[in-house]
């Protein structure tokens, strides 16, 4: 039976609910699908930084903007192995790797595949974000044991060309189709506070929710205003609106992990607590997210303790074994 699709107006009606009513509904949905006190923990590593040919107006890695970011080559495999082991020791269950490419060449992909295998050897889940993929490239990543592929749609179709002009939202959706067809879990979300309207946020969320299958992971970023980018001076989004967006995402995508991603270091502990109540159940853990600052790891541990939250260990992760002995075949 075909599931009903969400209409943008339905999402807007949710946004317009009284705050307490919206959060009560989101928390109710959340408890029907998840342990309300378990949070999935990921770590993100930039494996290739800078010189991206895209013109994403929020991004420090675009070669089109002078942000002071130096171009770096693809990280050596040993550095990735060391970073993955350190992430596991700090409690991460998923290790994500990002490369600033429009789309990887087959040669570049083979090097990333070696990195995926190194991460799998630790017992963690592996995720990469490499730009657009061809179907056969998605297949190669699946064969290597990749668990998740991240490719954000960033914003609504209506607002998209105000953010990026070097690729279309349809290009992004096509890559998500290739990932899904290869049997890899989809990680796709976007950035809030880029000057979009509430209607744009509703449209963005319904686009994700109405995919053939909603993404297993939905990262929601608060814009980090980076000097040198065209969005350096965009007014900040009201944190209450950010919480509302988390809640609407939870209701529209009840089985997805909703992740607090970039921009979290600018949110108070109290705002983050409201986000967890609204249905967020995943975070990036560690001091750096690609090129932007993230919340301090020790502060996150203290916050988890204060809120009674515990790290979620996904099925298939073998984190109870030493990293050197976890089999390379571990998968989600």
Neighbours of 324 (CB within 10 A): 8
Annotated binding site for [4Fe-4S] cluster: 52, 56, 59
β-pair partners for 129: 98
Looking up tokens 């509904």, which residue turns up?
25
Cα-based distances in Å from 178 to 137, 138, 221, 303: 9, 6, 24, 38
Catalytic residues: 52, 56, 59, 96, 127, 187, 259
Element (H, E) at 21: helix 19-33
**Alpha-carbon gap, residue 71 to 85, rounded angstroms:** 25
Element (H, E) at 221: strand 217-222
Angle between helices 198-209 and 8-15 (to 10 degrees): 120
């Amino acid at each position: 039976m075909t599931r009903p699709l969400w209409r943008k107006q339905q999402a807007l009606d949710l946004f317009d609910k009284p705050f307490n009513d919206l959060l009560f509904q989101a928390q109710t949905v959340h408890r029907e699908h998840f342990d309300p006190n378990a949070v999935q923990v990921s770590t993100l590593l930039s494996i290739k930084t800078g010189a991206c040919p895209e013109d994403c107006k929020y991004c420090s890695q675009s070669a089109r903007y002078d942000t002071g970011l130096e171009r770096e080559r693809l990280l050596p495999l040993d550095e990735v192995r060391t970073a993955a082991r350190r992430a596991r020791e700090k409690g991460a269950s998923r290790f994500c790797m990002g490369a600033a490419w429009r789309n990887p060449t087959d040669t570049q992909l083979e090097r990333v595949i070696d990195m995926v295998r190194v991460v799998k050897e630790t017992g963690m889940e592996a995720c990469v974000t490499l730009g657009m993929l061809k179907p056969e490239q998605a297949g190669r990543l699946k064969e290597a044991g990749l668990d998740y592929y991240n490719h954000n749609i960033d914003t609504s179709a209506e607002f998209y060309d105000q953010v990026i002009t070097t690729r279309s939202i349809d290009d992004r959706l096509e890559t998500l189709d290739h990932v899904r067809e290869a049997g890899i879990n989809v990680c796709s979300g976007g950035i809030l506070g880029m000057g979009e309207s509430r209607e744009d946020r509703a449209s963005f969320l319904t686009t994700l929710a109405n995919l053939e299958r909603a993404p297993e992971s939905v990262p929601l970023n608060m814009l980090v205003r980076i000097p040198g980018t065209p969005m350096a001076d965009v007014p900040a989004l009201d944190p209450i609106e950010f919480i509302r967006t988390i809640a609407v995402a939870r209701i529209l995508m009840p089985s997805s992990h909703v992740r607090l991603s970039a921009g979290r270091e600018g949110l108070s502990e109290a705002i983050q607590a409201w986000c967890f109540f609204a249905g967020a159940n995943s975070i990036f853990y560690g001091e750096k997210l690609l090129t932007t600052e993230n919340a301090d790891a020790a502060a996150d541990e203290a916050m988890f303790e204060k809120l009674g939250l515990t790290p979620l260990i996904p099925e298939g992760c073998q984190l109870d074994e030493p990293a050197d002995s976890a089999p390379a075949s571990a998968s989600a």
